[in-house]
Amino acid sequence: MPCNKRHLIRHPFFLALATWLLGVILPAIAQPDDINDFVKSTFWPNDSVSVVENNTVEILRDVSDAYLATRPTTGNGFFQNFVLLHAFSTLSGPQTKLLFDRFPEITKVRLVLLFRKPGMAVPVVAAKVRINRATFDSAPFLTTVTLKQKSPESFLTKAKSVFDAVWMNDILKNE
């Protein structure tokens, strides 16, 4: 008797196997359980990540290329504003939502931005910015910060108030 391939595919064993593959194996492959792998696949590939005190994820990101590209010679604090804007757009974005959804034990995300001036061997910390889950989950803060500001200065002031903690390196005041 010839083997009917359509009949074989409809066999309960193969249906159960296909269901198991789709329901268990594929989601496990698509979303890594390791937070470091998750951050590298969701945020920037060169980010370094660790879980520090009190269920806080700390993401280290080198923004030296942006420093070299945006640093004006006037010393008006342009790079400092750029760093804050970069931190806000990163921490208020969909990647942070995915991180909070995937790892419910995480309550805070801290972004540490590093930069290196020409001639420096080791990068220094430009800024540390932290946001917690409760602030992130209150959806109106994004609309308030982004849509209702009349100038870049008021936007940055409002963005600073959204974060739990903002620390800027004194070196950036003249950059």
Question: Over 70: is that where the pLDDT of 134 sits?
Answer: yes
Q: How confident is the model at residue 28 (pLDDT cuts 50, 70, 90)?
A: very low
Question: How far is Cα 55 from Cα 136, in angstroms, rounded to an integer?
Answer: 15
How far apart CA 19 and CA 16 sit, in angstroms, is: 5
Domain layout of the chain by residue ranges: 1-30, 33-174
DSSP state for residue 19 in the 8-state scheme: H
Instruction: Report whether pLDDT(76) > 80.
Output: no
Look at residue 63 in the predicted model and tell me its pLDDT: 83
pLDDT at 141 over 50: yes
pLDDT of residue 121: 84
Measured on CA atoms in the order 7, 11, 17, 22, is the torsion positive or negative?
A: positive
